[in-house]
Amino acid sequence: MRASDAERERIAETLRDAVAEGRLDMEEFEQRLEAAYKARTHGELEPLVRDLPAPGTAGPAAPVARRTEDETEVHWPSRIGHPPTSKGGFALWGGFQRKGNWTVAKKFTAFAMWGGGDIDLREARFEDRETVIRLFTIMGGIGVTVPPELNVQVKGFGIMGGVGGSKANGEGTPGSPHVTIVAFALMGGIGVDRKLRKVHKERLRLEKREGKERKELG
């Protein structure tokens, strides 16, 4: 049976609880999380949590359950339809950054030559539901970070260089904007990676610390 976005997010939440309790190390957690967001059927999702108990218990993992859009961790409607704060980035013998609560233009273009750029979409807002990010680099590098909840498609190629981002391709949670990244690298590199949002990382850190304290007290 085909899996829904909500079911993929439910499995992802179980994996986050497992790493917070020390049942998974970060490397295995990231591998399973990536597989969860790429899964298309229940048969692909269930093995990812089959050996994990339900959070806080010693019993079997909770089954895949449906969740409503209101329960998703990112409220996309509130982050779409804002005036852009940046339409591009430029680096020549230097660098540029786009991070935090910035708003991405529906057509964003960045260029780096003998320099580098850092684009982080994890906390970003969007001018439009359909966003195209065009990246060009000559003997330079540009890195893009996207959250697991974002719908992303990466296209591009390199000449004596490389474009890495196939693992970042995938659907987002319900209501996610669609971001197409078109990249070209000449004797340089462009990379696109999925990483947890900072609030998730902080929560995992706190939960792991609390779990450690409970073990010490027990």
Asked if residue 84 and residue 65 are part of one domain, the reply reads no
Rounded distance between C-alpha atoms, residue 147 and residue 175, angstroms: 14
Q: What residues make up the domain containing 55? A: 5-74+198-217
Element (H, E) at 144: strand 141-146
**pTM of the predicted model, to two decimals?**
0.62
Number of domains in the chain: 2
Convert the pLDDT of each residue in 80-99 to its tens digit.
999 999 999 999 999 999 99
Tell whether 10 and 61 lie within a shared domain: yes
Q: 11 and 116, same structural domain?
A: no
Q: Based on the fold, state whether residues 84 and 148 are members of the same structural domain.
A: yes
Do 126 and 32 lie in one domain? The reply is no
What would the pLDDT profile of 4-19 be if each residue is shown by its tens digit?
878 888 888 888 888 7
Q: How confident is the model at residue 212 (pLDDT cuts 50, 70, 90)?
A: low
User: Pseudo-torsion of CA 14, 17, 23, 26, nearest 10°?
Assistant: 100
Q: How confident is the model at residue 73 (pLDDT cuts 50, 70, 90)?
A: low
Q: Do 38 and 126 reside in the same domain of the chain?
A: no
Query: Do residues 51 and 158 both lie within one domain?
Result: no
Question: Do residues 137 and 190 lie in contact, with contact meaning Cβ atoms separated by under 8 Å?
Answer: yes
